[in-house]
Amino acid sequence: MAGVTPLVRVLVVDDDALVRAGLTMMLDGAPGISVVGEADDGDQASAAADAHAPDVVLMDLRMPRIDGITATRRLRARPRPPEIIVLTTFDTDENILHALRAGASGFLLKDTPPAQIAAAVRQVAAGEPILSPRITRRLMDRVAVQAGAYAQAKATLAVLSPRERDVVVAIGQGRNNAETAIALGMTLATVKTHVSHILTKLDLDNRTQIALLAHDAGLA
């Protein structure tokens, strides 16, 4: 019928039967949404997507056989991939970033109010990513910390000569002294001298700290 908005077809993937049942009951009662299938592990997600052609998948992270990150990556590699919302109790920075890099369109915590989960489903189905406010704040804080570390590292390295900075970059790339000498056209003795000067100028104890500084400064 003209003017009727199609239902958003949802697949729920979670190893907890009570969670699946609760999400199904809640979303099936939400306007514009229909839960078309369920799967109890990431290894069943692809088959369930084949069977039900969902628009949106609600994906748990911690599952016994195939985790949600792997399942998300597989679903997003399909010719016509569904949108993925990760719905989890585990909100570590690593989980958030891994999920987003795998192709998730959203990341919500399981304590998100039902109406907000339903709204998120409709939003990602319309092509608009969604993050819970708590997750957004954490990512903003992480970026701020990284920006601060970058500025500090750049200021620290400013005391080095251009050739010493070249050695810092080589160390940050994982090169040993011999490899650095070849890459930079120096003698091994010259590289060792530069490394010694770098440690002294920057008040560092070892090459690992040089490598971390190079990473923070965006040089490696």
The predicted model scores a pTM of 0.64
pLDDT of residue 140: 61
pLDDT of residue 180: 93
Among the listed residues 204, 124, 116, 128, the one whose alpha carbon sits nearest the alpha carbon of residue 164: 204
pLDDT digits (tens, 9 = 90+) for 84-143: 999 988 767 678 878 888 888 888 988 889 999 999 999 999 988 887 767 666 666 666
Q: How many CB atoms lie within 10 A of CB 34?
A: 14
* Helix/strand/coil (H/E/C) assignment for every residue in the chain: CCCCCCCEEEEEECCCHHHHHHHHHHHHCCCCEEEEEEECCHHHHHHHHHHHCCCEEEECCCCCCCCHHHHHHHHHCCCCCCEEEEEECCCCHHHHHHHHHHCCCEEEECCCCHHHHHHHHHHHHCCCCEECHHHHHHHHHHHHHHHHHHHHHHHHHCCCCHHHHHHHHHHHCCCCHHHHHHHHCCCHHHHHHHHHHHHHHHCCCCHHHHHHHHHHCCCC
What are the extents of the domains in the chain?
8-136, 151-216
CA 125 to chain centre: 20
- Rounded-to-integer distance, Cα 13 and Cα 38, Å: 6
Q: What is the CATH number of domain 8-136?
A: 3.40.50.2300
Looking at the domain covering 151-216, what would its CATH class be?
mainly alpha
pLDDT of residue 3: 53
